[in-house]
Amino acid sequence: MKNLQGKVAVITGAGSGLGRELSKVCAARGMQLVLGDVDQPGMEQTLAEIREANPQADAVSLRVDVSKLEDIQALAALARESYGAAHVVFNNAGVSAGGPMWEATEADWQWVTGVNVYGVAWGIKCFVPMLLEQGEGHVVNTASAAGWVNAPGGGIYNASKHAVVAISETLALDLRLAEANVGVTVLCPAFFPTAIVDAERNRPDELADTAPMSEARKLHQEMVRHAVMHGRISAQEIAEMTVAAVENDQFYVFPHKKIKQLIQARAEAAEREQDPFDTMAGR
């Protein structure tokens, strides 16, 4: 979609981090915005920042839990009612829980999978029929470098992001078979400064964190927080890359180029068939 002026962008996870920056970049392109997040105050802050930069920005918002199909159906209805369409759908909301896999609870699996996997699945289910009906559109799914290479301590997150890569590739192939004028992009960044390290603030009470704070879990959390907060590429830069990928009909986006080297090394480990590939080896 070369010209995004006047098109409608739907963005989940818009209340902070990458979602906020995607909202700003889309607004700067002259797009109309439909924003969703479970964090209502955060989303209001996003709207305030957009309108401060561009008082003419046209945006609506809705509090949504992306793990719930009915919430994404309501977001799609809002897009239709407000603008009569949706053109670029950013399935961006994401959370993380870490620690040794044997310490993870059922609630950990339900929470991370619900947001990271079902959030993408429901975005596709609710919006792709709209894109097909209008004859144009683009879907952007936020995956991660963790969708390709696996670091210790992030088992649930890794699994969820591998699923997002698989979903995205399959969606693109399904749309090709359908000869649809709908593009797909899968975003796969490594660590960058974002509020995902504080995702627990939005964790629902019924899926509360009850895993033990073992030394291994504490060490993992400290490592991830340090890596996230010291990321060398900003959320704004990644948002700009991502929207440019939509304009150029680009499927894969790897903001951190070293990840492709790690993917190649993982493929070589698979060829040897001896040991699991260690993403952190040599660091």
Classify residue 281: in a domain, yes or no.
Answer: no
Question: Does the residue 282 lie in any domain?
Answer: no
> Residue 2 domain-assigned?
no
Angle among Cα 231, 232, 233 to the nearest 5 degrees reads: 95
Looking at the domain assignment, is residue 279 inside a domain? no
Domain assignment of residue 280, yes or no: no
CATH number at residue 59: 3.40.50.720
**Is there a contact between 280 and 191 (Cβ–Cβ < 8 Å)?**
no
In a domain, 278, yes or no: no
Q: Which of 83, 118, 157, 252 is catalytic?
A: 157
pTM equals 0.92
d(CA 24, CA 234): 14
- Does the residue 277 lie in any domain? no
Count structural domains, the chain: 1
Q: Which structural domain range is residue 152 located in?
A: 8-272
Per-residue pLDDT of the chain (283 residues; tens, 9 = 90+): 889 999 999 999 999 999 999 999 999 999 999 999 999 999 999 999 999 999 989 999 999 999 999 999 999 999 999 999 999 999 999 999 989 999 999 999 999 999 999 999 999 999 999 999 999 999 999 999 999 999 999 999 999 999 999 999 999 999 999 999 999 999 999 988 776 666 788 888 898 877 777 777 777 677 776 667 666 899 999 999 999 999 999 999 999 999 999 999 999 999 999 999 988 875 5
83: annotated active-site residue:
no
**Secondary structure string (H, E, C) spanning 176-237:** HHCCCCEEEEEECCCCCCCHHHHHHHHCCHHHCCCCCCCHHHHHHHHHHHHHHHCCCCCHHH
